[in-house]
Amino acid sequence: MALKRILTAVVAITTFPILSGAQESVQGDVTVRSNPEGAQVTLSGEAIVSGVTPVRFRQLLIGDYGLVLKRPGYETYSDRVVLDPTKKMEINVRLSPKTRFKAAVRSLFIPGWGQKYTDQKTKGCLFAALALGSVAAYLIADGDFDDKYDTFQEKLHDYDSTYAAGSIEDLRRLKSELDAAQKEAYDAENVRRITTGAVIAVWGINVLDVLFFFPEQRATLSVKGLAIRPSADPDKVGLTISKAF
């Protein structure tokens, strides 16, 4: 019995490092770094983990995962990675800064898109609403002008037809109706011009806004893994403090 216990203890002692090594080999170890630092990183697959770069994930992550990095003032980075828990993985991402030109091009095509691109969502929604309203007003004014102009053309045709064979009384009546139709068509044309100007103004101001009021990159102070980043969005002002472990 004593010999059996001794042999069991020897086997346990000699196999413990092997078992420990096997357990450590399946311990997750994924490090994500970005340039610049301070980006919100998310790994999503069978599980979802997140942190602020530089960050080290020790969770057991296996298989295909979606990688997303977001930082104010920079393009969102997304990719697919295959994680193997038996191997250490280090992911380095260089983020591309957002530019005035990209914002202006977006706003040129769709008002408010450039503001949304630069994380000014409230202003973007405002410009989008103004653009939709001005376009709707123009379409209504344009339809009204077409109707009034068609009426004017009909009155003009009736007047010209009656001029050759009609009586003076008929001509006076038709002339009065023709003048009224002409004035209504003229007023409708002026309204259409005003709404056209409103559409152009909204589009132009929307593009100039992203060019002249493009949000500058916010500074991030990082000391030994401790990152301090100010935030000054249109809806709120705050300070984000993160620590990498």
pLDDT at 5: 52
Q: From the CB of residue 13, how many other CB atoms can be counted at a distance below 10 Å?
A: 9
CA-only gyration radius of the chain, Å: 35
Q: What is the mean pLDDT of the chain?
A: 80
pLDDT at 60: 84
Q: From the CB of residue 211, how many other CB atoms can be counted at a distance below 10 Å?
A: 13
Any idea where the domains of the chain sit in the sequence?
A: 26-97, 101-212
Residues of the chain with pLDDT under 70: 1-28, 164-166, 217-245
Give tens-digit pLDDT for 104-161.
Answer: 999 999 999 999 999 899 999 999 999 999 999 999 999 999 999 999 999 888 888 7
Give tens-digit pLDDT for 21-33.
Answer: 444 445 668 999 9
CATH of 26-97, one of 3.10.580.10, 2.60.40.1120, 3.30.420.130, 2.60.40.10: 2.60.40.1120
pLDDT at 111: 93
- How far is residue 221's CA from residue 230's CA, in Å, rounded to a whole number? 9
